Amino acid sequence: MKLLSIPFLCLVLISCININSSQISAHKQQVLADPITPDNSAYPASLMWKNGVPYLNVSRPEDNYLKGFNKEKTKLIWQAGKNQIEVNPVDMQFYFSNADKKQTSSLSFNVLTTTGDKYALKLQLPPKLNHAFPVRFIETGNWFQYVSFHEFSLVPENNAYPTIKIGGHLDWKAWHNTGAISLTLKPSKKIEIHAIKPVWHNNTQDVENKVEHEKQQNFTLALAYKLPENQDIQWFNLAENPVNNVKVESKNSSVSFEAVNNAWEITLPKIERKKYLSRTSPEALNQRTTNRFSLSNDSAVDQIVNLRFIHSNHAKIGFVPIIRDNNGIQTGWPIQVSKNWHTRDGLPRIENDGAWVHTSISLKVPANSRHDYTYEIVHANFNGVPAASVAQLSLVGWGGNGFWLQAALGNWSEHFCFQPGRALRRSMITDIRPLFQKGMNPNKSDDAYSWTSNVGGGDTGLLHDESGRYIQWKQAKTEFHSLGPILTEVSVSEITSDDSATLQSTFMMPRSDDLNRNYIKLEFKVLKPLAISRLALFQFGGDYYASGKSLSVKYGQGNTITEKPKSLRALQSSKNIKSASAPWLGNAPWALLPAELNPNDLRIGHGNRAAILRDFSASINGEKLNNAWLHSYKLGDNNQADNVNIELGIDPKIVKLMPGDSINATIELLTLPARADYYLGNDSTINRIINADNGIQALTINEAVNNQVVITKADGSKVVSTLPELTYADAIQGFTVSGGQGWYPIKITGLPQPTSVYWVEEINERYVPLGTSFNEEVEGQWNWQADTNTWNSILSLRSLANNKTLRRLKLMPRSATEQ
């Protein structure tokens, strides 16, 4: 086999736990003019089920056709720029293609025996145990994919012999332009293996690597590939070391090049725990861990380096990684976060289960340069306020054929989870938990920082055809726009199984110290004629997943805080599922699911759920709809007949959608305390409202009416929104802002390097750095945008007691000496 020589980057790592300003200054002169940037040549990469998930958890009679394992839905698609890899696990075959080329190549595997027989390698399907599903998503995101396939069948050539089951696993690891495939088979008493032979199916190359027999040992085949731009795929031996002249210096971290991951891995030091500190003490909540590292490229050309950070012992529920430059300024680079904590009591441990955290990024380093950075972990609070975070949560050890995206406020409870593909209980939205309320363990003293009750379950884009059959979605493409710590933002784009409609669901969570607020932006487009009997653009309380229990719906218009709500009661007959429905009108239409509390089970349902419609527009059959409709079904978790939900839909008389039709909406989800005495937060406004008559309802109405931000730009034009956005030009000219609830975000788009500007506020007729009035505002959040090579800046501002009080903010250029 021809070895592909790949030049790799030199790294020098210096690591420490605490970084002070003198250390930062000492490194300042080492940074060169040409900055490092993320490699945007094929960002973001994505991995998805091609035809939808192969196994859905469904139990209703009307969904019998969805039950069981679907062999036709086992194919995976990986995309990065113009490159695509399709994986068929049934035949254990990889198909490589490029948008600029018509030819598709493929790789499969033959197993040769000592007697000269040949067997084709296949995956054992369907799975025997959900806990140990054979296709396991270990790490997935916009940079790095790690999928593991387990337990195989050996199918003889021409079916001359019986099929043989054999243990083993195939690990596939992929960056946007490189990857590795490692296959390991266990010895079997039924067959004596001589070699594993990869089979390349386009006849232009022959991958000759094979593994000779080693008695009583596993058999492993390890290959690596590169996807050069406008060239055929290139293979090389994974065991070969990269060409490098690397220097590694580290006091507290170890650095090594891991060929199997094609990445430099920085293993972070163990975090020392101070025994005298309570986990809820301000010092613990505000803790940040920092590690210095340097990247250097001594060659005459720019180089791409893949970096992975291996985290140590810290709370994994919520945290935010940030890379800062040598001046302590955020780079805004997107870091993929993958983690796990799952094991199943009473079941055997499996590979990659349990607790771990890995983060990944790919960077382009200029020629003949050296750059110093700090890798920072925000563990709970960001400048005194619980940080918002989101990460890919592996389900290996828990089970199933998918993965979750898990968002948290601070690091003590899951607060919002969702799953591309809807593998578990056919729901996009899974666990949701209130913030700052009594925990679900009755034997534990409550300190406001406990794992709280689950009230989750819901969906986006729920569709039934004219006969009442569920319309499935496929090709769920996930893109991480923002990891926090001020605002998380992740979008999931899908298309229906019959290619008739598309949906993009964008999930956002701002940092908060009073209530758990989440926002979902929904964009639905029709491509082909589509007959429907049910459409829920958003559903709170899913057909199969509704952890909260409610018997009725309260709703209103959100025009005034003194309005009297209306009630909506769902209907259900023995033969036909029916809903109650009503036009959803008003400035900020809201709906509340009052909780029915079970005092004997604090794990489920102890929290109130509400939804506020922030934006809505729809064009159906060439006509603009004036308003949305609110629906409620008597459907819920495990088909409980006495549980109701709320759904955002359109007029139920509309049963036919045509190409060009569209529906767009933004929903604010409120996860509210179970009762006033359950709330343990310190917010005076929340405590005042929740302890009054009909406190939960009053809290919902207050949020609907008052959680609007009003911005007046320099030209006098206004932006009124719960999630306002401005341009770089708007920010440079300055603006006034008022309104909002809690800590509200403002996003500014199209900015240059974070080092070139900073935020100021006008106080007493002069501009001072933002954070002078409220220290929690001292630093915003920066996010690099791959398509434009610009940055977004996200502020988090404190709402005032008088929400009409004006504040004036402005973006100022830094001097050359500050950059």
Going by pLDDT thresholds of 50, 70 and 90, the confidence category of residue 303 is confident
Residues 6+ apart with CB under 8 A from 531: 465, 466, 655, 656, 657
Q: What is the mean pLDDT of residues 525-543?
A: 97
Higher pLDDT, 592 or 101: 592
Residue 664: the pLDDT is: 99
End-to-end Cα, the chain, rounded Å: 49
Q: CA 632 to CA 643: how far, in whole Å?
A: 10
The enclosing H or E element of 151 equals strand 145-156
Least confident of 68-82, 199-213, 240-254: 240-254
Least confident of 95-99, 135-139, 717-721, 815-819: 815-819
Q: What is the mean pLDDT of residues 783-791?
A: 94
Residue 9: the pLDDT is: 30
Whether 611 has a pLDDT exceeding 80, the answer reads yes
Whether 396 has a pLDDT exceeding 80, the answer reads yes
CA dihedral 592, 457, 725, 713 (to 10 degrees): 10
Q: CA 700 to CA 610: how far, in whole Å?
A: 7
User: What whole-number percentage of the chain has pLDDT above 90?
Assistant: 69
> In this structure, what token pair is assigned to residue 461?
């884009």
* CA nearest neighbour of 774 among 765, 783, 766, 763: 763
**How distant is the alpha carbon of residue 253 from its chain centre?**
28
729-758, pLDDT tens digit by residue? 999 999 999 999 999 999 999 999 899 999
> In this structure, what token pair is assigned to residue 78?
């990986």
Mapped to the 3 state alphabet, what secondary structure does 558-571 carry? CCCCCCCCEEECCC
Residue 799: the pLDDT is: 96
CB atoms within 10 A of CB 736: 15
Least confident of 83-87, 305-309, 632-636: 632-636
**How distant is the alpha carbon of residue 742 from its chain centre?**
24
Residue 437: the pLDDT is: 94
Residue 129: the pLDDT is: 66
Residue 247: the pLDDT is: 47
Query: Helix, strand or coil for residue 685?
Result: helix
Mapped to the 3 state alphabet, what secondary structure does 323-340 carry? EECCCCCECCCCCEEEEE
Query: Helix, strand or coil for residue 275?
Result: coil
Only one residue has tokens 């040949």, namely: 118
> In this structure, what token pair is assigned to residue 431?
């666990």
Q: CA 502 to CA 539: how far, in whole Å?
A: 17
What mean pLDDT is reported for the chain?
Answer: 89
Going by pLDDT thresholds of 50, 70 and 90, the confidence category of residue 132 is confident
Are 267 and 323 spatial neighbours (Cβ–Cβ below 8 Å)?
no
> In this structure, what token pair is assigned to residue 621?
């059959």
644-663, pLDDT tens digit by residue? 999 999 999 999 999 999 99
What's the Cα-to-Cα distance from 152 to each of 87, 183, 200, 395, 812, rounded to whole Å? 15, 11, 20, 21, 61
The enclosing H or E element of 200 equals strand 193-200
Query: Helix, strand or coil for residue 544?
Result: coil
Q: What is the mean pLDDT of residues 229-258?
A: 72
**Strand positions, DSSP E, 319-395:** 320-324, 336-342, 354-365, 369-378, 381-382, 385-386, 388-393
Least confident of 184-188, 401-405, 443-447, 767-771: 443-447
Residue 816 DSSP class:
T
- For β-strands 388-393 and 336-342, DSSP reports them as parallel
Mapped to the 3 state alphabet, what secondary structure does 560-605 carry? CCCCCCEEECCCECCCCECEEEEEECCCCCEEEECCCCCCCCCCEC
> In this structure, what token pair is assigned to residue 7?
């030049």
Alpha-carbon dihedral sign for residues 378, 379, 383, 386: positive
Q: What is the mean pLDDT of residues 496-518?
A: 98
316-367, pLDDT tens digit by residue? 999 999 999 999 999 999 999 999 999 988 888 999 999 999 999 999 988 8
* CA nearest neighbour of 808 among 776, 767, 771: 767
460-506, pLDDT tens digit by residue? 999 999 999 999 999 999 999 999 999 999 999 999 999 999 999 99
24-33, pLDDT tens digit by residue? 333 333 444 4
pTM higher than 0.85: yes
**How distant is the alpha carbon of residue 526 from its chain centre?**
26
Going by pLDDT thresholds of 50, 70 and 90, the confidence category of residue 574 is very low
196-218, pLDDT tens digit by residue? 999 888 756 666 666 655 555 57
Whether 34 has a pLDDT exceeding 70, the answer reads no
Least confident of 269-278, 443-452, 682-691: 269-278
